[in-house]
Amino acid sequence: MRVLLVDDFATMRKIIKNVLKQINIESVVEAENGRQALSILKAEKIDLIISDWIMPEMTGIEFLKACKADETVKHIPFIMVTAEAQKDSVVEAIKCGVDNYIVKPFTPEKLKDAIEKAQAKVRR
């Protein structure tokens, strides 16, 4: 599985990569923001998108909307990773078509479960 990991903080990308490694996912492409991530999606085959919410240039929600509006990309499971755990944030992400949502901090097991649920959702 090839994962596109989008986060403006290099440290957070490293942390999430470590967590992915613990669940045997080692093929990870990194992007600093939604705009850069969209370019990668045009050029590479990606099986899963994990994106932060708050980022400069293009936020996670804007990136999510762009992905779900693109016929060639919308089938890729999209997981939003954020520190925002409030109900209205969750509702906003769901309305925009997110396939799953995970709140920081999380364990490898929780991320694995979120990936499986996101994959099941796009298969339906």
Partner 1 sequence: MNLEDDMDVRYINPFLIATQHVFRTMLGLEPVMAKPMLKQERIASGEVTGVMGLSGDKRGAVAVSFTKKGALFLYNTLMGDSANDIGPEVIDAIGELTNIISGQARKELERQGLNLKAAIPLVVTGKELETSFITKLPIISLPFYFSVGNGEREVMYVDFSFE
Tokens of 19: 């967590």
- Which of 109/116 has CB closer to partner 1? 109
| Phi then psi dihedrals of residue 107, to 5 deg | -90, 165
- Which of 45/105 has CB closer to partner 1? 105
Q: Report the interface residues with partner 1, using CB under 8 A.
A: 9-12, 14-15, 18, 54, 82-88, 103-107
Please count the other Cβ atoms lying within 10 Å of the Cβ belonging to residue 76.
20
- Which of 23/73 has CB closer to partner 1? 23
Cβ of residue 15: shortest distance to partner 1, in angstroms?
6
Q: Give yes or no for a contact between 17 and 5, defined as CB atoms under 8 angstroms apart.
A: yes
Cβ of residue 79: shortest distance to partner 1, in angstroms?
16
Element (H, E) at 122: helix 108-123
Task: For residue 7, give the DSSP letter.
Answer: -
